[in-house]
Amino acid sequence: MSAHSLKLGLIGAGRIGSLHAQHLTSRIPAADLIMVADAFEEAARQCAERYAIPFATQDFRDVLTRPDIQAVVICSSTDTHAQIIEAAALAGKHIFCEKPIALDLPSIDRALDAVERAGVKLQIGFNRRFDANYRRVRQAVERGEIGRPQLLHLISRDPKPPPIEYIRVSGGLFLDMTIHDFDMARFLVGSEVEEVFVLAGILVDSAIGTVGDVDTAVITVQFTNGVIGTIENSRQAIYGYDQRVELLGSAGAIRTENNYPNTAILSNGRSVQRDLPLHFFVERYAESFLAEMAAFVDTVLHDTPLAVTGHDGRVPVVMALAARKSLAEHRPVRLSEIEQ
């Protein structure tokens, strides 16, 4: 595609949809966002007014039937992702879709088959691949700066749990929260995971247990290249959004720290301290959300390879389903068991 700008439609005008709308209309010059759709018509209208988007609608199909729209950005509820991907592919639109594609593999596979048949591009919204900290860790592995990777430790802790109503429909901790860490594990190490083992419990909010989920987990992962990884998740760290990684190799190690609103350190006769980390994902990963969308627009316009493929969107769901099975059966689970 050789056009100078890409005309897009946005489906879903919630928190993440509005963030993408802001970036597409003000920070990505090659993007031209011309329509927004949301099941709540008022949300679509307000988004259109806030970001000067020409058209708003309640029906996502209105976006797909416009011949001038070349690509769509899907930010609707998870249970609609696969359906809209299939419809968008059939309409010949290139697709950016927030994670996960779906909560089950048959739905994911139907969506990916539709994309392949249509010959359109599909990028999944694993934004952390575009974060400067994580990219530097991956770069260290690619350059051989730490030798052969041996041990990976990922920490991901939210400042507070989401509403119970959200947890009930989210797919649970592994498909909603850990899924980012599953993707990061593959991305950072550069190898596939073959086995997972989970220890988890309800240590933050007993109400989470009433809807069949857990809020605290440690997951060990075994990679096909021999690397051993641990992923640590909590729905609540009272000091803020905790996002760190350490990777040990045969010739060294690399680690990242949290991002802060400033670099000031306060020292006095009682303590040395600093302000709390950036509070949550919108603040912490603001630039990575921008970078992933700019990459999608560039990929479509210049027909270059995708940074995050449909396959990259599928594998973390397999890992999440294996984690769920491991917790239920109190044993390590190989990913091949989920694929059977």
Number of other CB atoms surrounding residue 269 within 10 Å:
4
**Cα 54 to Cα 271: distance, rounded to the nearest angstrom:** 54
Place of tokens 């605290």: 216
| Residue 206, in any domain of the structure | yes
Q: Which pLDDT does position 3 carry in this prediction?
A: 63
In angstroms, how far apart are the furthest CA atoms of the chain? 67
Q: Is the pLDDT of residue 212 over 90?
A: yes
Q: Are 178 and 122 in contact (CB under 8 A)?
A: no
Same domain, 204 and 67: no
- The average pLDDT across 110-127 equals 98
CATH classification at residue 138? 3.30.360.10
Question: Do 142 and 14 have their domain in common?
Answer: no
In a shared domain, residues 76 and 139: no
Q: In the structure encoding, which two tokens stand for residue 256, read together? A: 């990242």
200 & 263 share domain:
yes
Total domains in the fold of the chain: 2
**How many residues comprise the chain?**
340
Statement to judge: residues 330 and 273 lie in one domain: yes
The confidence band for 210, taking pLDDT boundaries of 50, 70 and 90, is very high
pLDDT band at 2 (very low <50, low <70, confident <90, very high): very low
Listed residues 70, 87, 120: the one ending a domain: 120
38 lies in a domain?
Answer: yes
- Over pLDDT 70: what percentage of the chain? 99
> Are 137 and 115 in a shared domain?
no
Range of the domain at 93: 6-120
- CATH number for the domain harbouring residue 90: 3.40.50.720
Is 178 in the same domain as 321? yes
Rg (CA), the chain: 20
| pLDDT above 90: percentage of residues in the chain | 98
Closest CA to 282 of 11, 17, 12, 53: 17
Residue pLDDT, tens place only, 139-188? 999 999 999 999 999 999 999 999 999 999 999 999 999 999 999 999 99
> Could you give the CA distance from residue 120 to residue 125 in angstroms, rounded to a whole number?
16
Give pLDDT, residue 166: 93
Query: pLDDT per residue over 225-283, tens digit each?
Result: 999 999 999 999 999 999 999 999 999 999 999 999 999 999 999 999 999 999 999 99
Per-position b or e across 288-317, b if 16+ CB within 10 A of its CB? bbbbbbbbbbebbbeeeebbbbbebbbbbb
Averaged confidence pLDDT in the chain: 97
Residue indicated by tokens 């018509």 = 41
Structure tokens at 45: 């209208």
- Residue where a domain terminates, one of 90, 120, 150: 120
200: tokens are 């988890």
- Give residues with Cβ within 8 angstroms of 66, minimum separation 6: 9, 34, 35
Residues β-bridged to residue 57: 37
299 domain residue, yes or no: no
Residue 1, pLDDT > 60, answer no
Q: Are 90 and 157 part of one and the same domain?
A: no
Q: Kindly state the tokens that stand for 49.
A: 């007014």
Q: What's this model's pTM, rounded to 2 decimal places?
A: 0.95
For the segment 15-42, the average pLDDT, to the nearest whole number, is: 97
Rounded Cα gap, residues 92 and 132, in angstroms:
33
In a domain, residue 326? The reply is: yes
pLDDT of residue 4: 84
